[in-house]
């Protein structure tokens, strides 16, 4: 079996899982976006995903994502990993969305970067931003505590280069994913209408979809184990 056949089979299986949970939860078919996570996998794999109809992928590391986006300019790359403020200007040039906004300082840096990119013609539209909620308050893993979410939402809305897309969450180890996702759904709904929840990965996407997630970020179940360096 060729690599594209493997990817086609894996995509079909993941989509079937998503559709089954959508139906069971009474949600509209196709309402959940599948975002394949392609970190550590080669650009050649992403090109094959594009042949299979994928338009958006998620990446965790800025340098790796920048290189891949340069090779595959027709795809939308989402930054889902932590961003150092000093890397914000670079992220602003290649990312179509950022799922890991956690500080006002980062909001300001991304906004400057996007406005510079718009002025130079290296991008043509605003950057969609998801605020990352830190459930347990361990900010070393990124995100912001619950009490800071409204301030961050207001900060994003006050910019010219960014648009507020919603909330992103990763359940801490040992937490009940369903409870985390239900709380995240309530929080994103409280931040305003039309915002989306980016939650759920290979191991917990059923719980996320049942709780109202709009985007699931799936890596291993689509691309297989990460390549050994």
Question: For the segment 77-110, what is each residue's pLDDT rounded down to a tens digit?
Answer: 999 999 999 999 999 999 999 999 999 999 999 9
Q: Please give the domain boundaries of the chain with CATH numbers for all domains.
A: 3-223 (3.20.20.10)
DSSP annotation of 133: E
What is the reported pTM?
0.96
pLDDT category, 1, cuts 50, 70, 90? confident
The dihedral built from the CA positions of residue 99, 222, 13 and 50, taken in this order, carries a sign that is positive
How many Å apart are CA 139 and CA 145, to the nearest integer? 8
Per-residue confidence at 229, pLDDT binned at 50, 70, 90?
Answer: low
Among the listed ranges 153-162, 196-205, 219-228, which one has the minimum average pLDDT value? 219-228
- The DSSP 8-state label assigned to residue 144 in this structure reads B
Kindly state the average pLDDT of the residues 67-86: 96
**In this model, does residue 228 exceed pLDDT 70?**
no
**Calpha distance 100→103 (Å, rounded):** 9
The chain-wide mean pLDDT, for the chain, equals 96
Residue 211 confidence (pLDDT): 98
Contact by Cβ (8 Å): 201, 14: no
Distances (CA, A) of 135 to 141, 173, 202, 204: 10, 11, 19, 16
């Amino acid at each position: 079996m060729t690599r594209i056949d493997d990817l086609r089979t894996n995509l079909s299986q993941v989509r079937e899982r998503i559709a089954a949970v959508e139906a069971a939860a009474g949600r509209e078919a196709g309402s959940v976006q599948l975002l394949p996570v392609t970190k550590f996998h080669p650009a050649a794999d992403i090109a094959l995903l594009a042949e299979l109809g994928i338009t958006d992928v998620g990446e965790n590391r800025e340098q790796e994502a920048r290189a891949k986006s340069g090779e595959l300019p027709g795809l939308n790359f989402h930054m889902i990993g932590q961003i150092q403020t000093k890397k914000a200007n670079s992220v602003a040039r290649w990312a179509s969305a950022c799922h890991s906004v956690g500080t006002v300082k980062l909001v300001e840096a991304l906004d400057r970067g996007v406005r510079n990119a718009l002025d130079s013609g290296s991008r043509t539209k605003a950057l969609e931003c998801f605020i990352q909620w830190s459930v347990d308050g361990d900010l070393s893993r990124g995100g912001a505590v619950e009490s800071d979410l409204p301030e961050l939402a207001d900060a994003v809305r006050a910019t010219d280069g960014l648009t507020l897309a919603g909330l992103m969450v990763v359940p801490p180890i040992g937490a009940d994913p369903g409870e985390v996702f239900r709380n995240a759904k309530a929080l994103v709904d409280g931040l305003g209408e039309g915002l989306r929840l980016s939650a759920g990965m290979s191991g917990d996407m059923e719980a996320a979809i049942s709780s109202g997630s709009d985007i699931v970020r799936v890596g291993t179940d689509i691309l297989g184990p990460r390549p050994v360096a």
